[in-house]
Amino acid sequence: MKKQKTKKCIKVQIFLAAFLFLFLTNTGAQESLFKLKVVTEQANIRLKPDIGSIIIQQIQQGTVLESLGKEGEWYLVKLEPEEGKQVSGYVHESLVIEIERIPQEIEIKEPPPSPPITPTSFKPTLPQLDLFISGGGNFFKGGDLNRGSQGLADFYRDTLGIQGKGEIKPAHLSYILGGELNFPLSSRLFFGLGADYFLGEKKSSIEFERGSSSEIFTSRPKIQALPLRLVLSFYILPNFYTKNGIEYYFARCTYSYRFQKEDFSQEWRGEADAQGFGFLGGFGFVHDLTSHISIIVEATGRYAKLKGFKGKDNYTESTGLTSTEEGILYIYQGQISEQKSYPLLFIREKKPTEAGVIDPKEATIDFSGVAIKAGIKIRF
């Protein structure tokens, strides 16, 4: 009886061992990997599942990758191991498509140790700063600066009774240079400190011919501005962002009027400064060249109407007569008859109230407009 019981125990033990082996083998065969295909021109593989994380490798369109899993919008993918390089990274779901799942048998043994990562293989996973340096063109409205030039030209045209050749053209275009330092607040949101500088002017003239003689009126309005800004940028897509912010302007405007008649000439030149707030909004596109350098194209719109310009007007004649007046930049209607008046822009010591002056008020220089910029973003 004892021998029979012993044989039964041995059979039960063999059966349990075989069942355990089959269970473990089948469990390992159920796990799988993803196969992904790159569908954009170039996919950035990042160290962390974060748009602000550094790029450790760039993969071309059509490449097939193996993914070990997914975290939110990011796939963890295997990379070809190289000495001292990261062997896995993250790619955004918008850059790839899942093409199949492949069974993966798991061997029940200790996994091989990962190759050591040298200090030069990646930067610490701290928030990355980036610096955007740009240049481009800017369109601005001008406001009373352009109205004053046109008003004085119309005054001479009606006073002389001659239409004249040419026209007074408003100042609207300037070049723009700038820089912006961005601090990441999250994977998609960045806080920026920046500044721009733009300068624009327009010279134009009208010639009034009278027989063998002629008179020439010339105008040259000019603006300069240095807006400092605080902005928030939000990445809607990995390579596309929007931005909004507030600016503080250090602004200057200049008017220059000259009337020439044969040997006689008279000229007014005024320069005034002001400060004030404005707002901006826009969007941009980013194209990565390397893990540290990208090209950016950006379009922004501005709203900024400034008053309170203070400065100096210098008047000179060819006869040697000169005069200087310091004060505030005013716009007012200069009336020459009950039917006709013209907007005139001058710096005056006091608010003008003399005969022929209608509706005097502080001039508004309008820096509102649109800028198109392109530049380089450098990641630190």
CATH code, domain with 68: 2.30.30.40
Do 132 and 375 touch, CB atoms closer than 8 A?
yes
Q: Which ranges of the chain have pLDDT less than 50?
A: 1-3, 12, 16, 18-32, 105-109, 119-126
Q: Give the pLDDT score at 41.
A: 84
Q: Is residue 152 part of a domain?
A: yes
Q: How far apart are CA 51 and CA 91, in angstroms?
A: 10
Measured between alpha carbons, how far is 55 from 44 in angstroms, rounded to an integer?
A: 6
Question: For position 65, what pLDDT does the model report?
Answer: 87
Query: The tokens of 190 are what?
Result: 């960045």
CA-CA distance, 209 to 290, in Å (whole number)?
63
For residue 49, tell me if it sits in a domain.
yes
> Which residues lie below 8 Å from residue 100, measured CB to CB, with a gap of 6+?
35
Q: Are residues 216 and 308 in the same domain?
A: yes
Look at residues 252, 261, 257 and name the one whose alpha carbon lies nearest to residue 151: 257
User: Is 8 a domain residue?
Assistant: no
Token pair belonging to 320: 């040697």
**Structural domains in the chain (count):** 2
Do 212 and 91 lie in one domain? The reply is: no
pLDDT of amino acid 87:
77
Look at residue 15 and tell me if it is in a domain: no
One domain for residues 99 and 136 = no
Q: Do 71 and 179 reside in the same domain of the chain?
A: no
Its domain, for residue 360, covers 130-379
What are residue 137's DSSP bridge partners? Answer: 175, 372
**Which pLDDT does position 245 carry in this prediction?**
98
| Helices vs strands, H then E, count in the chain | 2, 24
SS3 50: coil
Residues 294, 369 within the same domain: yes
Q: Are residues 54 and 178 in the same domain?
A: no
Q: Are residues 59 and 168 in the same domain?
A: no
Residue 171 belongs to a domain with what CATH number?
2.40.160
Asked if residue 151 is part of any domain, the answer here is: yes
Task: Give the Cα separation of 170 and 222 in Å (integer).
Answer: 10
Q: Do 67 and 139 reside in the same domain of the chain?
A: no
Question: Model's pTM, two decimal places?
Answer: 0.71
57 and 182 share one domain:
no
* Separation of alpha carbons 281 and 272, rounded Å: 28
The verdict on residue 327 lying in a domain is: yes
Long-range contacts of 104-108 (CB under 8 A, 24+ apart): 104/31, 104/32, 104/33, 105/28, 105/29, 106/28, 106/29, 106/31, 107/28, 108/24, 108/28
* Mean of the per-residue pLDDT values of the chain: 86
Q: Give the pLDDT confidence of 5-30 residue by residue, as tens digits.
A: 555 555 545 554 544 444 444 443 33
- Flag whether 22 is in a domain: no
41 contacts 53 by C-beta, under 8 angstroms: no
Q: Which residues of 10-49 are buried (b: 16+ CB within 10 A; e: fewer)?
A: eeeeeeeeeeeeeeeeeeeeeeebbbbebeeeebbbbbbb
If asked whether residues 190 and 327 sit together in one domain, one would say: yes
Same domain, 304 and 184: yes
Burial of 129 (0-12, 13-18, 19+ CB in 10 A): middle
Q: Is 19 part of a structural domain of the chain?
A: no
Q: Largest Cα–Cα distance of the chain, in whole Å?
A: 145
